[in-house]
Amino acid sequence: MKTRLLRTISQVREYTFGIRQRGLKVGCVPTMGALHAGHGSLIDHARAESDAVVVTIFVNPIQFDRKDDYERYAKGLESDLTFCELRDVDAVFTPSVEEMYPEPIATFVDSLDLSNYLCGASRPGHFRGVATVVAKLFNIVQPDAAFFGEKDAQQLAVIQQMARDLNFPIRIVAVPTVRESDGLALSSRNQRLTPEERLNAPAIYQALTEGRRMIENGEWQAEQVKTTLLNRLAGQPAFRVEYVDIVDPKTMQPVDSISGDVRIAAAVWVGSTRLIDNVLCRAS
């Protein structure tokens, strides 16, 4: 199937309006490109639940707290389009920065409580940028459902909260994390790892699964789980831990006493590459 390439807001609105006029459902997969099997899983879920799938590819400058990170972010539109065509994506919206931000933006969407911890603590303004651009994409595409990965659990929580608070008539679908055979969560940032760093990177997931076993076996003190994980990660000389914490999966706030569902989340620098991962677990 030939995927339509849409570059302007007006083109997208005309396209999705025509689909909805026929009584069909639109599924949206917002991405920043550099597509991999994790994005493929999002697309597959959207394909199964929608009549038409629109993938957005836009490296959003207002969500980067470091200019060098924005400039280094992988870009490869031709290969991304091929990726989408192989997965029967109906349309790809790939606007320029000027199309999305024709003038300096003065209005933002911010979810303060959800954004001020974990990744938000070290990346000021990041989730404000994410929520703002996703709100814009929702207003442009006007999908019935939008699909996001659980690997970016805090981002997912921010978007779910935004959709509720601002009454977006859009179903937010959470899709499980896709991993390599050795457990490493798929990410476009993985390609920045050296061969040795790539060999060691699965230790992050191994530590998280150890924490999950502790909780499922009855450990209820969050500090004890964190200490165990930090000690395990300290055994990797190339690692620099930014955070490891146990949080409520809805509020993303830390818990001291573990009960019910919790999420163990981590951000670890492997060499010069920042990787995030998390696992959901339930106390016994």
Which position among 36, 39, 45, 126 bears the catalytic label? Answer: 39
35 CB-contact burial (10 Å; exposed 0-12 / middle 13-18 / buried 19+): buried
Alpha-carbon span 74 to 114, nearest angstrom: 27
**What tokens does 115 get?**
């954004």
Please report the beta strands in 36-175, taking only residues with DSSP state E, as ranges in sequence order. Answer: 52-57, 91-93, 145-149, 171-175
Alpha-carbon span 39 to 118, nearest angstrom: 23
Element (H, E) at 244: strand 239-247
Catalytic residue status for 126: no
Please report the beta strands in 105-207, taking only residues with DSSP state E, as ranges in sequence order. Answer: 145-149, 171-175
Residues that are catalytic: 39
